[in-house]
Chains A and B, each alone.
Chain A
Amino acid sequence: MTTAIAPVIPRSRVQRLYWTFADGCVIARGNLVHLARNPAAILNLLLYPIVMVLLFGFVLGSAMNVAGGGDYREFLMPGMFGQTMTLGVMTTMVIVTNDAARGVTDRFRSMPISRAGVVLGRAVADMVNSVLELAVLLLCGLAVGWSWHRGLGNALTALGLLLLLRFALIWVGIYLGLILTPESAAAAWMPLMPLTMLANTFVSPELMPGWMGALSEWNPLSATVAACRELFGNPGWGGDSWAAAHALPLAVAWPVALTLVFLPLSARRYRRLAR
């Protein structure tokens, strides 16, 4: 009955690298199958952007002014892109806490899978998810009259910056996911949502009270959104503050800094599971 089963034990660096990728692919695939088989999640993926664009673009948008003038929906879309990328941290966090609570993380840890492979799988699945979200939102934007005005190259760079922010937030999500319980991770929505609004996403910081405006200027999300407005040629970019004037370099620096801090932190946290 029992066939001899011989696992491949990687011995060389090249083999290890190969298996890291192979493991990552298997794990990412499993995660994406989850998405594909979850009608509620798919509906959410499609419906959420549509509802938000309609809500902010038309319901609130009719009363909104853009500092320096311009169409509010043109101003809004880069903010929505940035907010969606930021809220993606919830996806990462919730999955990581659930895996830990259900013992999936322990099963992985008792198996000869490289940790990098597990994380790679998580990252690939989350990025694919975010690319889909961004694509839906992009189409919604086009439908309500948003567009890019400075060429395809700049537009693609802007999308790259958005995904860079999402990538950095994977590490934040993994770190928090390893600390929090599933219940508290779901509740993280509460502080996170205002944080995505305490930025230039929906309102220009110049129009906010002084301290709030300053805080919003320096929100990492603001850097990405401002840079996107600049690259798409949408209204509302630029400004007097140093942060607003250097949106592009900041939109690279913030995600890099977040990654440099949270990648080692989450690796350490993972090792500490054995404590």
Chain B
Amino acid sequence: MRRMDSFAVVAEGVRKRLGATQALDGLDLTVPEGTVCGLLGPNGAGKTTAVRVLTTLLRADAGRALVAGFDVADRPAEVRYRIGLAGQNPTVDEILTGRENLEMWGRLYHLGRATARRRAGELLDRFGLAGDADKRVKHYSGGMRRRLDLAAAFVLAPRVLFLDEPTTGLDPRNRNEVWQAVRDLAASGSTVLMTTQYLFEADQLAHQIAVIDSGRVIADGSPDELKSMIGGDQIDLVVRDAADLAEAARVLAAAAGAEPGADPDARRLIAPVRDRIGALTEVVRELGERGVAVEDVALRRPTLDEVFLSLTGGKPEHDAGEQGAGKQAVGKRVAA
């Protein structure tokens, strides 16, 4: 039996129905203190619902959830003193300035007037907003708003910070600032649970990645564990002449140690590889020796679609929308 108090977040069999959707369908998750956990999943997977239950905004239908050692259903007030939340959409006050916003949130977190002011100054610096601190938020860009919203979640330097898709809509520089703030906070002992649709982001930040789909955690582990589970990097090869496909497939199979997926219409082959550079050089050399003309060759990480595909056993679970369509397309390629 593991000790519960060394976990910042514990969810056991959490279920939540929203309208006709079973948004959470037995969610199990444990996040150790002081780590960053990435909750990774496609649209509608239940990420936001999970965050809302853990931040006391929604009451679960069944199951149990502890945050910072307190039950979210029984002791919501204790939980609220120990968490910060930046929701999927910024909730900053348009009419106030950035500084006024942060001072107001600070006061509402029961910091004294002087402390709230000092803290607002620190956060404006940290999130690169110092120069625009005294402008009204309605004149901010989307990225600035989002950073201000994140800063509001950092006011208390919370024990557990919940960020729902914190970098959606940010340019790379701002995204890096957010990442750095998350790393700093984790280094100072806080726990961060963030949702994301990008494997790359989870890979950059998280000690632990929980893949969520249809309201359930379908894979949970360190980024490396997860990647090895789904086969890691892939060689993505396009030949110039369709007649060469069979020959190229043999070369790729030899290098990867597995039969590659094929998409004959696009003259494309994909194979997961372990020894990334070694395999790539071997493939390129072999193809050159056999006179196979290559139009494009790349070494790339699996996309989220492919992660899901392999984790959900290849059957497209949602047939609606582009997500489902994307999955199916990839499915044909890899499984063919």
Binds B, one of A99-107, A186-194, A232-240, A261-269: A99-107
| Distance, CA A19 to CA B136, complexed state (A) | 28
A63 within 8 A of B: no
Chain B positions 95 through 114: 1 when the CB is less than 8 Å from some CB of chain A, otherwise 0? 11000100011011111100
Inter-subunit contact B80/A110 (CB<8 Å): yes
Q: A274-B58, A274-B59 are in contact. Are A26 and B107 (CB under 8 A)?
A: yes
| Distance, CA A249 to CA B115, complexed state (A) | 50
A33 within 8 A of B: yes
The number of residues on chain B lying at the interface, defined by a beta carbon within 8 Å of a beta carbon of chain A, is 40
| Distance, CA A30 to CA B104, complexed state (A) | 8
Inter-subunit contact A5/B58 (CB<8 Å): no
Inter-subunit contact B108/A23 (CB<8 Å): yes
Binds A, one of B81-89, B253-261, B289-297: B81-89
Q: A30-B104, A112-B77, A274-B57 are in contact. Are A2 and B157 (CB under 8 A)?
A: yes
Chain A positions 1 through 18: 1 when the CB is less than 8 Å from some CB of chain B, otherwise 0? 111110111100000000
B323 within 8 A of A: no
B185 within 8 A of A: yes
Inter-subunit contact A107/B91 (CB<8 Å): yes
B208 within 8 A of A: no
| Distance, CA A2 to CA B158, complexed state (A) | 11
Inter-subunit contact A2/B184 (CB<8 Å): yes
Identity of the chain A residue whose Cβ is nearest the Cβ of B187 in the assembled complex: A2
Inter-subunit contact B111/A107 (CB<8 Å): no
Inter-subunit contact B119/A5 (CB<8 Å): yes
Q: Which residues of B contact A275 (CB under 8 A)?
A: 58-59
Cβ-defined partner of A3 (8 Å) among B59, B122, B136: B122
| Distance, CA A27 to CA B100, complexed state (A) | 12
A111 within 8 A of B: yes
Inter-subunit contact B110/A8 (CB<8 Å): yes
| Distance, CA A106 to CA B152, complexed state (A) | 13
Identity of the chain B residue whose Cβ is nearest the Cβ of A107 in the assembled complex: B91
Inter-subunit contact B91/A102 (CB<8 Å): yes
Q: Which of A167-200 contact B (CB under 8 A)?
A: none
Inter-subunit contact A7/B111 (CB<8 Å): yes
A118 shortest CB reach to chain B, Å: 9
Q: Which of B112-128 contact A (CB under 8 A)?
A: 112, 115, 118-119, 122, 126
Inter-subunit contact B184/A106 (CB<8 Å): no
A30 shortest CB reach to chain B, Å: 6
Cβ-defined partner of B91 (8 Å) among A2, A33, A106: A106
A31 shortest CB reach to chain B, Å: 10
Identity of the chain A residue whose Cβ is nearest the Cβ of B80 in the assembled complex: A112
A246 within 8 A of B: no
Q: Which residues of A contact B58 (CB under 8 A)?
A: 274-275
Which DSSP category, helix, strand, loop or mixed, fits chain A's interface? loop
Identity of the chain A residue whose Cβ is nearest the Cβ of B95 in the assembled complex: A34
B204 within 8 A of A: no
B263 within 8 A of A: no
A275 shortest CB reach to chain B, Å: 7
| Distance, CA A107 to CA B164, complexed state (A) | 13
Inter-subunit contact A111/B104 (CB<8 Å): no
Identity of the chain B residue whose Cβ is nearest the Cβ of A108 in the assembled complex: B108
A19 shortest CB reach to chain B, Å: 6
Cβ-defined partner of B110 (8 Å) among A19, A104, A109: A19
Chain B positions 121 through 139: 1 when the CB is less than 8 Å from some CB of chain A, otherwise 0? 0100010000000001000
Cβ-defined partner of B83 (8 Å) among A1, A102, A110: A110
Q: Which residues of B contact A103 (CB under 8 A)?
A: 87, 89-91
A38 within 8 A of B: yes
Chain A positions 130 through 155: 1 when the CB is less than 8 Å from some CB of chain B, otherwise 0? 00000000000000000000000000
Q: Which of A18-54 contact B (CB under 8 A)?
A: 19, 22-23, 26-27, 30, 33-34, 37-38
B126 shortest CB reach to chain A, Å: 7
| Distance, CA A27 to CA B188, complexed state (A) | 31
A-B CB contact pairs (8 Å), 23 listed: A1-B122, A2-B185, A3-B118, A5-B115, A5-B157, A7-B109, A7-B156, A9-B81, A22-B110, A23-B108, A27-B108, A37-B95, A102-B91, A106-B57, A106-B87, A107-B87, A109-B57, A110-B56, A111-B80, A111-B105, A112-B80, A112-B110, A273-B57
Which residues in B have some Cβ–Cβ distance to A below 8 Å?
Answer: 52, 55-59, 77, 80-81, 83, 85, 87, 89-91, 93, 95-96, 100, 104-105, 107-112, 115, 118-119, 122, 126, 136, 152, 155-157, 184-185, 188
Closest 3 CB pairs of A and B: A103-B91, A112-B80, A8-B110
